[in-house]
Amino acid sequence: MPDFSNRLLARFAGQRFSYRWYSDIQLARQGIVLEQNKEPALSGGIQRICSRTLDHVPIDDLQEGDDIVTIARKAGIIDENTGRPLYLLLDRARNSGCRIIIADALDDEPYISSQLAPALEMTDQLVRGIELAKEAVGAESARIEIYKELGDSPVTIGENLGGVPVDRVGAGYPADNSLIQKHREEKASVFGACALIHLARAVDEKIAQTTVFVTVAGDGVTTSANLEVSIDKTAGELLRQFGLSDETSRVVIGGSMRGVTITDLDSTRVTAQTRGILAMREVFKDYNYTCIGCGKCDDVCPVGLSPYYLYKFVQAGRYSMLEDFDIDLCIGCGTCSYVCPAKLKIASEITRGKMELVQYMNAKKEKEQNEEVRA
């Protein structure tokens, strides 16, 4: 049975059609469709907010004959998806015999469009970046991946952007999870679209990465927008520029599904990994609901875990069961918390359980070692 379902998965993972009908013996699921709320940021273009000192900074020690990977290293380009330096990713892709370059402009989280908007606005630079990456890695082809669900956005995207074919990923959130298998089979390497734009700039204009693309959105600001900001800007500075409301209760760095809240606006600067800054008014007041055991979290988990039982075991502190239920495979996407009708904090409880399990295992190991020494 496992063999069969694995083969089934290898065949269908990441494909466009929904295979919910296959019951859920398949494990990697398509995810859920969220309200997108990407407007008006996505169609509004990109505003540039840069300090004078950090605008068009040339690369210091550039020498003639540097190859693309070296330039990427010297320009200090960071991949915005993984937070790793781009030159490491390029290097790894080159060594592993990568055949396809994928420019990731997915933006599957609500509100965020800080990869898609630059890809649409700066298509020339993105295409140039893809070509450079292809050259550096030795890949044969390339494509741009975008998210199919754009909500009510009027933006239309053609079959290709500047000659590079566009792949519309039809999966729900989290889209990247269902694509891992497909990418591995194709020997594809994924690079963030923004990192590729910075690569094109570094090679052609010889400037280092000093700016990042962020989305400022949420109901706590008067309008949402995509920005290109220099990395000395703080979250408060950007939010106030867009009319930060006094009724804002939470400011989130990152996406609305995985981001973290901050309380000190003026000492939090944007980083290369910052994809969005969201200001939210709504307070999730304590609903005082209890779990009714509906099992909706079990049905939506994209890795095929059972969040219901994981949550119960974490709350009861039964660590031995957590291992059997594969808590380590949780990717922390937050889908279970999103669908929960009781508004329980399932995802964060499971994350807590994960950390406590590690501590528990370490303590257990230490105890065993001590006993061995004593014996």
List interacting residues with another protein (CB under 8 A). Answer: 1-2, 5-6, 9, 23-25, 27-28, 34-35, 110, 180-181, 184, 244, 246-252, 256-263, 265, 278, 280, 283-284, 287-296, 298-299, 303-306, 308-309, 324-326, 329, 334, 337-343, 345, 347-348
- Name the 3-class secondary structure at 164: strand
User: Are residues 225 and 44 in contact, defined by beta-carbon separation less than 8 angstroms?
Assistant: yes
Comparing CB distances to another protein, the nearer of 157 and 262 is 262
Comparing CB distances to another protein, the nearer of 68 and 216 is 216
Sheet holding 276-280, edge to edge: 46-49, 225-230, 211-217, 276-280, 250-253, 260-262
We find the least distance from the C-beta atom of residue 256 to another protein, in angstroms, to be 5
- Beta strands 46-49; 225-230: pairing state: parallel
We find the least distance from the C-beta atom of residue 369 to another protein, in angstroms, to be 24
| CA separation for the pair 225, 262 (Å, rounded) | 20
Comparing CB distances to another protein, the nearer of 261 and 362 is 261
We find the least distance from the C-beta atom of residue 40 to another protein, in angstroms, to be 18
Nearest to 150 by CA among 178, 180, 175, 179: 175
Comparing CB distances to another protein, the nearer of 46 and 339 is 339
Nearest to 17 by CA among 144, 178, 174, 157: 178
| CA separation for the pair 344, 80 (Å, rounded) | 30
| CA separation for the pair 37, 7 (Å, rounded) | 37
Provide CB contacts within 8 A for 110, sequence distance 6+.
34, 35, 36, 37, 38, 255, 256, 257
CB burial of 255-279 (b: ≥16 within 10 Å; e: otherwise) equals: bbbebeebeebeebebebbbbbbbb
Comparing CB distances to another protein, the nearer of 138 and 341 is 341
We find the least distance from the C-beta atom of residue 243 to another protein, in angstroms, to be 13
We find the least distance from the C-beta atom of residue 98 to another protein, in angstroms, to be 13
Phi, psi angle pair for 226, to nearest 5°: -100, 135
Comparing CB distances to another protein, the nearer of 207 and 262 is 262
